Structure 1
């Protein structure tokens, strides 16, 4: 749909332009003529996210992620939902973040909506046959009072967890029968901000991809049932926003120097345990001036137990840290009653919080990956405050002491209570509890414990990794708490807690039977559902997930004589699907972020398993929107983190050409080429006197311990730049540039290749070194990562190519080995180019087979027990669903099944199977022009039988490995 003219006004409500974590509701009631309605389209956009209802029916969510000044809008055909001759209502639930993260840049709260109804020409119901219902000051609005805006920040990448008190809100607000004018009504007339095009949403663009799916999925089994007890007190605090208030405007890491202090009141003497269940930041904690020293617990959790007398105790916590965002989880447990209150006060000032901030004494925003050591931790006042036994000792620092803002403090800390379970007793699972996971009318009845402090915890396995919106239906007494915590991996007694991600929901029940569907997207496999504070048995009717992904069909397929490879292909496909939202995302749980470099590999896998084009094109188009932040383009978009990974930009430019060649989309080449040229020209300005790329940035390729400093000459990114320059010349040619215009790119690639060979080859080691540091020191580290890219880029030629090629088959043990499935993608590309398919297949079996051994349903971010996991031997990887790892979905189809594009747009296809040790294989590859290609082959001795089914008009060439004969049948469909 083309861009349109708008009559509607942007609207909002309340007193803040950009309130933190506000859920706001909008309503418009209107009447329609009794006859003549032909069609009706509802167009809308919102800042930050919305859920749309028409006459009580939920019909959509959105919008897709956007750059602030270029807002996307959605359009829905809603004629079938409207009631002719009756009252109708449009209801919109808007979630405004109020801060910048990795997929949203802070603007201001706003809704823009316009219903356009077309009537038959002979209808006299409306003038000019068009009726418009437009957002303006006749719409009503209210905060959604059930939602607690203090709810914890999920992580630096995302928004906020749900804390929802159903007692405070009437769910009928989406219906026409709802009354806005009750005695305690909070509804008001919306305020107009301005017309379409008003700042900050200067340009409006129609949605450029289909709407995402919502598939209701029920769990597969109950894993465990326990009686549990939470700590006496937990809280989640946004220290980043507290210490550096302006940090809500960006997503860069910050550092600060300072303290958090509170007064703990014990009614009687006893033992108290203080702890950091969500992750340990400091061991500098003083109680009444005494430093806590006896810490225990598995990192990152840390706890300290103290014997304290009845009365007041001053607790001082040094929170000096590097902080990218998320919540600081603090907890305390004691058999004696405990209470927190403001230091020096006479009671708990919960209008704000029971804590004060001391400082900050220094702050820093980290841009271009500055090191945190630059913080000033010798500030005299900071040093003086250490170990204070009371707030009176800090009287000289009164100007440095201020309340912790209430908006940044939440005692509904589901994550803290879920991680730190102070008591737990396993229970047998009664058969009737299975009703909770089955779509039957009969509920599971969960009894209550006589001990009011004991809660029921049910661990539910959805059956495989999923992403979407958690829902449930219960009948309970008012005030009963339902906590839900999403986890990716559980094995026996081990739970991989989502440290750094608050993947939780707290729902406080109203009286009776009720439903809740969270509006916040989450990724997980297991739901830890805990019933707290129940005064009567709870009837649990269902628990489910509305799985939501990019709408794709299973157009691609792969099967072969090795059942392990079949399952590896399946988990690669499922991983890719779960990481296809409104863009490709790295993972559906921890981040949900469009990482530019990851998406190059994800696009290639997608071409083979789904064949979706619009999502790839959308991703490629989003990247140049970061040019105002950096001409080198940032590594995740749209985002407020000013982070540049040079390789990610290079991979993006390569992906632009790969999309053009895959889809034969010359128009896109012409549109995107100026943006590719722009950033590569700026990168070439960073070449040093030796002709090598020498720059500060996040010079990343792999998580392995290769030598890739953030400043200096990093060999692997020089190699990827060579590849990007070569591809740029081809993209320029397709975009219409003449031969003279493409020569500089070809020459730049040759010149850089020569510089790499002259300065970065170590003759004694017979390999390319990892880097030259900014001080001129040559690295003594050699890695397979660097050698793989030297081979792929063509920089290694002649004798050096032979040497590097031998490393692909027999990596020297002294070299840093490949550390992530992401890097394996390039390794497999190199092996395929070298014709060593058996090595590729065996590597896939070994590494991905380890994932299957641990019941993986998706591909992991890293291989088991790699560097980042070593703090916990049971943690196999951080993210258990990461699309940069789905390489087998591409290579099994392309190189083993053997289906390859021979000409742009797949008008000519090469079928070149590589059976290795397989007896047979069959599969399908979707084609960009529509339809798919089906191939099956089998091997008997030296004879290969190959059947090919292909759409009409596609030319096919079939090849078999040397030494084999072939029998080929090609069937062309009409």
Structure 2
């Protein structure tokens, strides 16, 4: 590829840390452009971790796309419209550096690299403005780096104080003379960004979306005190280098100073992990005293005036969720450090005691367990006063302010002292319009004002708002996905919040943090007089696609289900396919196989699919088995996800017909499968210690041993690899992989079939014990992967139509995709539609606008009657959009690249259907059919581009007419 980078360009940074935790840094460069010279301008840019680019005050782009550090992606923008010839011009960049690894980013170091290339009308270069030591840089003075992690998968929530920075910092007129000069780090090609690769997909869309109404208005009061602590970084400081789970043994301790005795409540508003025994003045608070619906835990306690030592056992496995705690009471309280001589301006009120032991969990391999019998760890429990902690001086470490944030925004939204509903004035509904009339938010003396804003459907993007208020007014935003009546499903495990402290007057703010939600809880705090909002909106941010695919039929329920499937898929298309727009925004490799097939019938986005597939081999530096989410700091392997990736590579070739893609991918496919077959044991079965997942259901899929569904999908992956090897011109290697597939299939039939049950058992445990559990998941996998022949295959077909009650049933829409594939293969599409109506119809009953991660009826997924699913928008669940297009509308490719297309509708009791399926390169297939089931007659009309090879078939047993229009 052409190297566009100037030899003079430099990576630059500022400040005293190479990789600071959660730091936003501003960069500027002002320079003149001669009026007669300039006609064209392109700006190349990349940064670690993310950037927002402004040219002469106008937002020009954001990025970069996720990538491996050694293959750092960069963007190129045509900025000609922003340039002002004959004047001084300014490039301004805000770089958001994470300073730790996530599920979509590997920790590198802070850095910005950019260059502006200019040319005249003839294309002659007019020079280049490059990043170097002449640029100015400043740590964003209004950004609070102590904001909590959003989740273990993502980076950080957002806290902004608009009083501390000039919003005009990006404009040409702004003076940056007081800013320090940037530090030059090195030239393009330096570590860790050894290779620079141009962005391979178009920029994401930015579409303004407005809410539809104010759902609720409340007068609320905050609890006395709460806080968030990054306990993972406190106990295991090196853990920010990766995103693997870590375990530790220890405590957090603080002194609660009470000015007057009385009743108080101690609470943990998101006690996912690491909230063990609570010890107050040396005595454990009995577990039965805690109340609240999990994961919230609260206990009422009585305290006398004075100081009280509070310790919480935080031992356990931590993936980065963070620790939240609060204390409430009518009497004033203060939290102070248990250690005398600690300067309160430098440290938080908490100290860590320990760790007494630590571990790191890698690739789900068995390892040493945490030592919970450490003598000092057990002895600490009896400490009743802060002074006694000096006995453990070598185990004490103050929690630095950088890992501590009081006045926790998420905690305040979950745990409130009081909440009183108010009628929503009709005038307040102007908040959700764009007519320029400001909405006056009610003001309550001594309380905060809370509004719940409904966007009407799931969204993803950047919150933007405009308001007029007094200086110091606090506006908190908290996005979540689901509510019904008084029930709110809080995003435990996801801090989806933004705090904005306002300057005086009218102001606008656009968040640079990408969030997914449907509802936005907006709380106005510290207001001295009513706040006026001119707008609250979302700049929706998704992969740019045309909605080519269509489906409409005589069943209104199926139409609604198709619609939510389409919207789900679109919201989960970012710079890769992602699992969900809210909780994770992570590229899970296995999920994307199904997502790509669905996307083929909706949008035809081969560049995005190919980008996903090409990213996967970059994880070989973590594991030769390839990671299950990339690029990620979590070195985790789900073998099925790698097998799905191999299968997806073959399917992408079939979708596009690109032989070059097959040739490019073959070495990486060969590499990982050669490592997988090394785990085939003496019985000829695939036997591995890994995360052996297929479905969220109580099937027997241990992390060690022989898992049947995994063996089946390895057979399919090996056969897919053999086909790709032939396409890539490696016939001998194709024979080798076909041989491995045949051997593994034979071993499965020898060792994993139960004659008594006439089914495949779920697994053989590592100790040799044969599983007594039989599941539909295992039978579906065995059928799809062609493991069974003859009578065994016939038995599996019977199970597909009548799943035995004694078998574990399918537990997620993800697994349903494979079930529907199996039903389609045997032509039982009425069964498929009935299942879609039953399971997805439940989502429609609850007014879902997108597909859920789990089924609400599956008992294993329900912790309380109101909890329906975790994620309310999950791309692995959008199967109906694929199957309705491929099998009910009936459009399927018959040759690579859709060179030939088959149209074979299946009415399944429907009277009519019409729709479209996009072709990979250009055009689409439009189908319209009507059926008379009683008379077994059908009329089909198909429109295709001129020259498209097409075959139209009536369903078996039907007569009628077919018409092809070019």
Aligned to 1:33: 34
Aligned to 1:584: 577
Answer yes or no: is the 8 Å Cα contact 1:100–1:251 preserved in 2. Answer: yes
Aligned to 1:958: 952
Aligned to 2:137: 141
1:771-830 deviations in Å (ceiling 9; x for gaps): 000000000000000000111111011000000110000000000000000000000000
Question: SS of the counterpart of 1:574?
Answer: helix
Aligned mates of 2:313, 2:66 — CA distance in 1: 37
Alignment pair present for 1:550 and 2:543: yes
Question: SS of the counterpart of 1:848?
Answer: helix
Alignment pair present for 1:394 and 2:389: yes
Q: After alignment, is 262-271 or 702-711 more displaced?
A: 262-271
Aligned mates of 2:782, 2:593 — CA distance in 1: 19
Aligned mates of 2:680, 2:445 — CA distance in 1: 72
Q: CA deviation at 1:591?
A: 0.3
Which residue of 138, 153, 172 maps to 2:149?
Answer: 153
Q: After alignment, is 92-101 or 934-943 more displaced?
A: 934-943
Q: After alignment, is 546-555 or 335-344 more displaced?
A: 335-344
Which residue of 266, 271, 284 maps to 1:274?
Answer: 266
Aligned mates of 1:500, 1:955 — CA distance in 2: 51
Answer yes or no: is the 8 Å Cα contact 2:262–2:303 preserved in 1. Answer: yes
- Once the two structures are superposed, the pairs formed by residues 864-903 of structure 1 within 5 Å of their partners are 864-867=856-859, 869-903=861-895
Question: SS of the counterpart of 1:275?
Answer: strand
Alignment pair present for 1:106 and 2:107: yes
Aligned mates of 2:860, 2:255 — CA distance in 1: 37
Aligned mates of 1:868, 1:531 — CA distance in 2: 39
Aligned mates of 2:509, 2:910 — CA distance in 1: 50
Answer yes or no: is the 8 Å Cα contact 1:278–1:415 preserved in 2. Answer: no
Alignment pair present for 1:341 and 2:336: yes
Aligned mates of 2:42, 2:138 — CA distance in 1: 25
Answer yes or no: is the 8 Å Cα contact 1:63–1:73 preserved in 2. Answer: yes
Q: CA deviation at 1:372?
A: 8.4
Answer yes or no: is the 8 Å Cα contact 2:726–2:734 preserved in 1. Answer: yes
Aligned mates of 2:947, 2:660 — CA distance in 1: 22
Q: CA deviation at 1:112?
A: 0.3
Q: TM-score, normalised by structure 2?
A: 0.98
Aligned to 1:426: 421
Answer yes or no: is the 8 Å Cα contact 1:2–1:206 preserved in 2. Answer: no
Aligned mates of 1:373, 1:628 — CA distance in 2: 24
Which residue of 288, 300, 311 maps to 2:281?
Answer: 288
Answer yes or no: is the 8 Å Cα contact 2:12–2:182 preserved in 1. Answer: yes
Answer yes or no: is the 8 Å Cα contact 2:862–2:869 preserved in 1. Answer: no
Aligned mates of 2:634, 2:11 — CA distance in 1: 27
Aligned to 2:610: 617
Aligned to 1:842: 834
Q: CA deviation at 1:23?
A: 0.2
Question: SS of the counterpart of 1:850?
Answer: helix
Which residue of 395, 400, 403 maps to 1:405?
Answer: 400
Aligned to 2:169: 173
Alignment pair present for 1:971 and 2:965: yes
Alignment pair present for 1:944 and 2:948: no
Aligned to 1:699: 692
Aligned to 1:909: 901
Aligned mates of 1:828, 1:578 — CA distance in 2: 23
Q: After alignment, is 225-234 or 165-174 more displaced?
A: 225-234
Alignment pair present for 1:200 and 2:192: yes
Alignment pair present for 1:680 and 2:680: no
Alignment pair present for 1:299 and 2:291: no
Answer yes or no: is the 8 Å Cα contact 2:255–2:307 preserved in 1. Answer: yes
Aligned to 2:181: 189
Aligned mates of 1:481, 1:321 — CA distance in 2: 35
Aligned to 1:736: 729
Alignment pair present for 1:376 and 2:371: yes
Q: CA deviation at 1:348?
A: 7.3
Aligned mates of 2:122, 2:43 — CA distance in 1: 21
Aligned mates of 2:561, 2:705 — CA distance in 1: 39
Q: After alignment, is 482-491 or 935-944 more displaced?
A: 935-944
Aligned mates of 1:345, 1:468 — CA distance in 2: 46
Aligned residue pair count: 960
Aligned mates of 1:548, 1:324 — CA distance in 2: 28
Alignment pair present for 1:765 and 2:757: yes
Aligned mates of 1:705, 1:656 — CA distance in 2: 30
Question: SS of the counterpart of 2:943?
Answer: strand
Question: SS of the counterpart of 1:393?
Answer: helix
Aligned mates of 2:517, 2:664 — CA distance in 1: 38
Aligned mates of 2:559, 2:448 — CA distance in 1: 42
1:649-706 deviations in Å (ceiling 9; x for gaps): 0000000000011100100000001101111111000000011000100000000000
Aligned to 2:477: 484
Q: Residues 886, 2 of structure 1: CA spacing in aligned structure 2 closer, same or farther, 3 A cutoff?
A: farther
Answer yes or no: is the 8 Å Cα contact 1:348–1:354 preserved in 2. Answer: no
Aligned mates of 2:382, 2:857 — CA distance in 1: 39
Answer yes or no: is the 8 Å Cα contact 1:229–1:424 preserved in 2. Answer: yes
Answer yes or no: is the 8 Å Cα contact 2:856–2:862 preserved in 1. Answer: no
Answer yes or no: is the 8 Å Cα contact 2:119–2:125 preserved in 1. Answer: yes
- Once the two structures are superposed, the pairs formed by residues 699-718 of structure 1 within 5 Å of their partners are 699-718=692-711
Question: SS of the counterpart of 1:640?
Answer: coil
Structure 1 unaligned blocks of 5 or more: 123-127
Answer yes or no: is the 8 Å Cα contact 1:255–1:363 preserved in 2. Answer: yes
Answer yes or no: is the 8 Å Cα contact 2:346–2:400 preserved in 1. Answer: no
Answer yes or no: is the 8 Å Cα contact 2:281–2:309 preserved in 1. Answer: yes
Answer yes or no: is the 8 Å Cα contact 2:410–2:495 preserved in 1. Answer: yes
Answer yes or no: is the 8 Å Cα contact 2:854–2:861 preserved in 1. Answer: no
Question: SS of the counterpart of 2:133?
Answer: coil
- Once the two structures are superposed, the pairs formed by residues 229-268 of structure 1 within 5 Å of their partners are 229-268=221-260
Aligned mates of 1:676, 1:790 — CA distance in 2: 22
Aligned mates of 2:222, 2:798 — CA distance in 1: 57
Aligned mates of 1:40, 1:725 — CA distance in 2: 49
Q: After alignment, is 322-331 or 682-691 more displaced?
A: 322-331
Answer yes or no: is the 8 Å Cα contact 1:155–1:501 preserved in 2. Answer: yes
Q: CA deviation at 1:346?
A: 7.4
1:569-618 deviations in Å (ceiling 9; x for gaps): 11001000000000000001000000000000000000001111100000
Q: Residues 953, 547 of structure 1: CA spacing in aligned structure 2 closer, same or farther, 3 A cutoff?
A: same
Q: CA deviation at 1:939?
A: 0.9
Answer yes or no: is the 8 Å Cα contact 1:264–1:313 preserved in 2. Answer: yes
Structure 2 unaligned blocks of 5 or more: none
Aligned to 1:125: none
Alignment pair present for 1:927 and 2:919: yes
Aligned to 1:641: 634
Aligned to 2:62: 61
Q: After alignment, is 511-520 or 826-835 more displaced?
A: 511-520
Aligned to 1:325: 320
Q: CA deviation at 1:370?
A: 4.4
Aligned to 1:414: 409
Q: CA deviation at 1:412?
A: 3.6
- Once the two structures are superposed, the pairs formed by residues 441-480 of structure 1 within 5 Å of their partners are 441-451=436-446, 454-480=447-473
Aligned to 1:599: 592
Alignment pair present for 1:311 and 2:306: yes
Aligned mates of 1:120, 1:67 — CA distance in 2: 37
Aligned mates of 1:920, 1:589 — CA distance in 2: 37
Aligned mates of 2:510, 2:857 — CA distance in 1: 36
Alignment pair present for 1:19 and 2:20: yes
Q: TM-score, normalised by structure 1?
A: 0.97
Q: Residues 737, 347 of structure 1: CA spacing in aligned structure 2 closer, same or farther, 3 A cutoff?
A: closer
Alignment pair present for 1:385 and 2:386: no
Question: SS of the counterpart of 2:609?
Answer: helix
Aligned mates of 2:121, 2:76 — CA distance in 1: 21
